[in-house]
Chains A and B, each alone.
Chain A
């Protein structure tokens, strides 16, 4: 069976994508520009902009002179590739072999596929229509070879489908650019007056090679089908997913556990092979009446330990309501990560086994108590007590500098300082007595003040003068005065903590 290829050319790939994102741009003149050698150069122009004379490759300043109301969007590197990759994965519906053709096209190997759509015209129509619905203007063509299909999509004028063995005829009327040649060769061809491929197609090969080099011959052969051309198909990432359909509906917790165990074994086997571990997993159960239910787990560190993951799920199985029974189970791992070996050596505790054990313990606690119950703190470079600690991002994070010990801090700190009534001698002595929660405390001993200034670049406000005081019962408190006494100011006093 002879090969058949389809080429899809996206006429305005980048600008179409912008319009899909922001429909209000549809009839506006806008360009996508990137910095090249210190100036802004247009990499793509919208249809409206092109009508006004703006072309790709123009310097932005020139384009602005032609069309002053031009809207400029920054170019994102590699956006075409990402975009084409997504479209290519979508195109796998048309053929299992889809290859990228950077910067603005796709090549499909459609051998043996088109009859499913009822012939080549219907096949192309479907592609064009569906892509148009998504907002992309394309021209798609079918031919015997990659080269011919490519040429026809870009430079063909007459018909989209070139019948088998019609490549030579179709190519002969196309310009040499249709052969995907280097600019230098194109220039020479033009100089010699070869405006169509037909002009030089039948010349002796030795002559062509001597004048234009090997590349012309290779491209010509590829387009005519004398030389093979390889395309590299995209491979979609297979999702980390396992399915388990059941013959009989499953209603018991034990049954669900068995299903879960089987799915975990299958999934973890694959993960172990690839050196990955689960960070997040979803267990979906489809009930007979069609209502899907799901439970979800997250782990602290990537794990492919079946018994641990099973335990995490086990805590949540009770949330599933089987009713008439489940007929399909699906286990998905939307987030997987490399299992890192070096993460094992935090806190030099006795061994890596301990490490994993603690991570697993924390996972269990989180799955029972909620995601934010586990906290670990690191010192932060602030004197202001509320800001002097920060949450550690991970369990392996170590403090960048030592914990400060210069000033004593209370073991128990109130989240919000509470107002107290004091009798204090001015200007900056500790109080003689204070009233807190209806009780009067006589101050026997006191230390301080320790002045902590507000950090003006974070927050404006008065400074705090902290005192450590001890009352008649031997209880020790941390209190502060907000601001200082002045002619008119009467600063407030607060209690902030308790010392041991």
Chain B
């Protein structure tokens, strides 16, 4: 009995060591940012949304791309809430800066990089992820190879920048070294109390892959809080009935 308890301790200790080696850091209570993601956060190791990691978000088609951009903006709103600075890299940018304000991001805190030459894209993404002074880097790209994703992961392990790679219309979903792979689709909104018109945004958020965590699928509603009070959590993700994973 004693031996088995020791074994369990040892295993859990080893698991923690592995997490550390893989670039996860145990976040102390003061550094902890409440993402308000609710149950989704429980899917991650230690139950904390991993900042300082590279996330991959896959979208097919324009509408899903818009939903994914919205989800990214909501995460940005949480990460750069304490006065950070973000960079949004894209080749053909369609993001409309004023809309970011609805997700709790001050659009003037985002620097948009409009890459003209596709060859420069990866170099720029890596260079930005290496910059410690930034809080988050969003990149809109199509393909990302395993080697490239490893390089990005190594860059953020040094700099602790949160990288959000939005893959638009990828040909194949290949294996990457990213911490998590998401897919966000838009769902029909549900106006409250039978009100007419379009209600709050609803998304079908899938966590397809997460390192050392559990994948899952949720329906969430994004409800902009009162933007006058930034302390108030701006997002409220609700676990809904639809659950497939």
Interface residues of A (CB under 8 A from B): 347-350, 353-355, 357-358, 361-362, 364-365, 368-370, 372-379, 385, 388-389, 392, 395, 398-399, 403-405, 408-415, 444-447, 468-470, 472-476, 497-500
Contacts and interface: CB of A to CB of B under 8 A. Distances in A.
Given A347-B109, A357-B132, A403-B101, A469 B198 contact: yes
B62 interface: yes
Contact of B98 (A354, A403, A446): A403
A444 B196 CA distance: 11
B194 to A, nearest CB: 12
Given A369-B115, A375-B114, A500-B222, A355 B133 contact: yes
B98 A379 contact: yes
Interface of B: 62-63, 65-67, 69-71, 73, 83-85, 94-103, 106-117, 120, 123-124, 127-128, 131-134, 185-189, 191, 196-199, 201-203, 222, 227
Contact of A468 (B108, B187, B198): B198
B67 to A, nearest CB: 5
Given A411-B69, A447-B197, A500-B66, 14 more contacts: A347-B83, A349-B83, A354-B132, A361-B128, A370-B117, A399-B108, A403-B106, A404-B101, A405-B227, A412-B96, A413-B99, A475-B186, A476-B63, A476-B66
Nearest to A448: B197
Nearest to A366: B113
B97 A389 contact: yes
B49 to A, nearest CB: 19
Nearest to A380: B98
Contact of A376 (B71, B103, B108, B187): B108
Given A373-B114, A375-B112, A358 B197 contact: no
A497 B100 CA distance: 14
Contacts of A370: 116-117
A500 B133 contact: no
Contacts of B63: 473, 475-476, 498
A357 B131 contact: yes
B107 A361 contact: no
Contacts of B106: 403
- For the complex of A and B, 9 pairs with smallest distance between CB atoms: A500-B70, A354-B133, A413-B96, A498-B66, A474-B188, A475-B63, A357-B133, A447-B197, A403-B101
A350 B113 CA distance: 22
B62 A498 contact: yes
Given A347-B85, A377-B108, A411-B70, A358 B101 contact: no
B88 to A, nearest CB: 10
Contacts of A408: 99, 102
Contacts of B222: 500
Q: Is the interface of B mostly helix, strand, loop or mixed?
A: mixed
8 contacts: A377-B107, A405-B227, A409-B102, A411-B103, A470-B188, A474-B189, A499-B201, A500-B66
Contacts of B201: 476, 499-500
A445 B191 contact: yes
A312 to B, nearest CB: 12
A368 B128 CA distance: 13
A292 B186 CA distance: 58
A374 B113 contact: yes
A389 B98 contact: yes
A388 B133 contact: no
Given A357-B132, A368-B120, A369-B117, A412 B112 contact: no
Contacts of B96: 385, 409-413, 497
A478 B244 CA distance: 31
A395 B101 CA distance: 19
Contacts of A350: 133
Given A355-B133, A370-B116, A379-B98, A474 B191 contact: no
Contacts of A385: 96
Contacts of A378: 108
Contacts of A373: 113-116
B157 to A, nearest CB: 18
Contacts of A474: 185-189, 202
Given A413-B94, A497-B96, A358 B133 contact: yes
A452 B124 CA distance: 38
A369 B85 CA distance: 21
B189 A476 contact: yes
A212 B1 CA distance: 122
A378 B117 CA distance: 26
A301 to B, nearest CB: 14
Contacts of A347: 83, 85, 109
Contacts of A376: 108, 110-112
A500 B98 contact: no
B111 to A, nearest CB: 5
Contacts of B112: 374-377
A445 B69 contact: no
A370 B95 CA distance: 21
Contact of B124 (A349, A365, A398, A500): A365
Contact of A377 (B97, B189, B199): B97
